[in-house]
A and B are shown apart, each in its own frame.
Chain A
Amino acid sequence: MLDIDQSALGADVALIGVEKRFDGNTVLSRLDLTIRAGEFLSIVGKSGCGKSTLLRLLSGLDQPSSGDIRVDGLTPEDGREDIRLMFQEPRLLPWARVIDNVMVGLPEGGPVAERHARAEAALREVQLADKAAEWPANLSGGQRQRVALARALVSRPRLLAFDEPLGALDALTRLVMQDLILQVKREEAFTAVLVTHDVTEAVALSDRVIVLDAGRVAREVVIDIPHPRPRGDARLAALEAEILGAIFAEGGPVRSAAGGTQLSG
């Protein structure tokens, strides 16, 4: 297995007192959160609790109403090639072939041959090198999402944010994609922030899971279990139950008895 110093290539992320309001409706309220370089953080929480909003702020698609966000010490702006966002839908350009879709992830300009080579390398990473000349319409849902992953990876981002990237896939394809995400994470060593509805997925993939509720971090659970994590492991199952409990608990932060769990908020 290839082992890279995960903190060397990943971004440091800090959110300080971040608030986001949409005309009077507070979605995120004074959120403090730091993400270590190279960490794999998952965010779970009820629908509408502000997970997508948080990712949009992280990737600079939207600005906080107040507070400060720093990715490697700089405010995120859309189009920063060291920050990439993967959506629930592949959002491929239907009129561009797979390879051209991947090249969308590269900064504009530069020698064509080099862009091509980098896009091909990214496609190899997601095992779709043979589909470079296909139209997106001719791919399966899982393949399309892999192209979207290649597009996100091709600029070698230091922060990769995923907004339920596997939500629309069937159960089997999800498992394959989870392994693929872990694999590229190991090879590319970016900082990963994953929003998911699937607590099992969060526990299987990440170093830390936070539960978002009413715009704040309601619970934080560190998953201190080395990869590869056997599916169905009892410790994972316990952590999963704990997180589910926190999601459906009424009210504010809950202190956990389980080891590795920290209180925040």
Chain B
Amino acid sequence: MTAVDPAFRFPTRQDRKSLPVARPWHLRHAAWLPFLVPGLILVLWEIGSHVGLISTQILPRPSAVLVKAWDLALTGELFLHLGVSTLRALGGLAIGGTLGFALGLANGLSARSALLTDTSVQMVRNIPILALIPLVIIWFGVGETARLFLVSISVFFPIYINTFHGVRNVDPQLIEMGRAYGMSRRSLFGKVIFPGALPSIFVGLRYALGLMWFVLVVAETLAAKAGLGYMAMQAREFMMLDVVVLSILLYALLGKLADVVTRALEVRALAWNPAYARH
């Protein structure tokens, strides 16, 4: 036990007011602080491989990866693969997301539609997507359609479920209020149901984005002529470790980018919600 200074008292609101106004340090440095840990890891990794702690046969140096990225950027190869992967991801998201959103709305709004389709969707949902790969290859071959199909189906479920539940869980008191105030079906949807379901839809979107990259990696390592997964596979054949690591880092970067975009959309669309408001 430490002795308590008899003169000690908790600082009062008055004390705080008399202090110079200073934001806590972690808020003053909020812009770069999140990158401190990844940056430190990179530095340690670089030092580790220079002093021989990390064999470059197992893990190339960050600087070597950077140089390689620069080379690939100069030849344009990097952007080709990046572009192809991004297109696939967005294409799958557009198809699967739209379908999931539409069916989620339909089932949330119509009990008949929900009775008819929800159970079936829930059953299919429990199949691991990757278990479908052999079937998908037989159906579509190893072409672009197969990859698009896998990504679409993986984003479909989280968006469907969260849209459905979002619509179902809109406060019934608000819906009754809308009815009492003579809202047309259209404005009941636009002003009450959709905004009420939006937080849940965003949860689905975030989840879908994670799955989207995950499934894309697998789909691109299958058999592709371009894309980040293809780049990594090719590099493995020729033991080009730096390219393998580069493609992994690019996936991480793309995932983070998708998250940042969603977060920005959330802050804009859910500004009314104290839980999402900017700090």
A and B are partners in one complex rather than unrelated chains: yes
In whole angstroms, what is the CA distance A60 to B273 when docked?
Answer: 32
Q: Is the CB of B174 within 8 A of A93?
A: yes
Q: Is the CB of B191 within 8 A of A96?
A: yes
**Residue B274 at the A interface, CB < 8 A?**
yes
Known: A61-B176, A87-B177, A91-B177. A96 touches B272 (CB 8 A): yes
Chain A positions within 8 Å of B198 at CB level = 95
Q: Is the CB of A108 within 8 A of B187?
A: yes
**Residue B19 at the A interface, CB < 8 A?**
no
- Interchain Cβ contacts under 8 Å between A and B, 22 examples: A59-B180, A60-B180, A61-B179, A61-B180, A78-B180, A79-B183, A80-B182, A81-B182, A87-B173, A91-B176, A93-B174, A94-B272, A94-B273, A95-B195, A95-B270, A104-B178, A104-B191, A108-B182, A108-B183, A135-B272, A137-B273, A151-B181
Smallest CB gap from B175: residue in A: A91
**Residue A198 at the B interface, CB < 8 A?**
no
8 A Cβ contacts from B38-56 to A? none
Q: Is the CB of B181 within 8 A of A104?
A: yes
Chain A positions within 8 Å of B176 at CB level = 61, 91
Partner pick for B184 among A85, A87, A91, A108, CB 8 A cutoff: A108
Chain B positions within 8 Å of A89 at CB level = 173
Q: Which B residues are closer than 8 A to A by beta carbons?
A: 173-174, 176-184, 187, 191-192, 195-196, 198, 270-274
In whole angstroms, what is the CA distance A136 to B109 when docked?
Answer: 26
Q: Is the CB of B274 within 8 A of A91?
A: no
B interface SS class: helix
In the complex, how many angstroms separate the beta carbon of A36 from the nearest chain B beta carbon? 24
15 additional A-B residue pairs with CB within 8 Å, beyond A93-B192, A135-B271: A60-B180, A61-B180, A78-B182, A80-B182, A84-B181, A89-B173, A91-B174, A91-B177, A95-B196, A95-B198, A96-B195, A107-B182, A108-B182, A135-B272, A151-B181
**Residue A105 at the B interface, CB < 8 A?**
yes
Q: Mark A130-143, 1 if CB is under 8 A from B, else 0.
A: 00000111000000
In whole angstroms, what is the CA distance A105 to B129 when docked?
Answer: 48
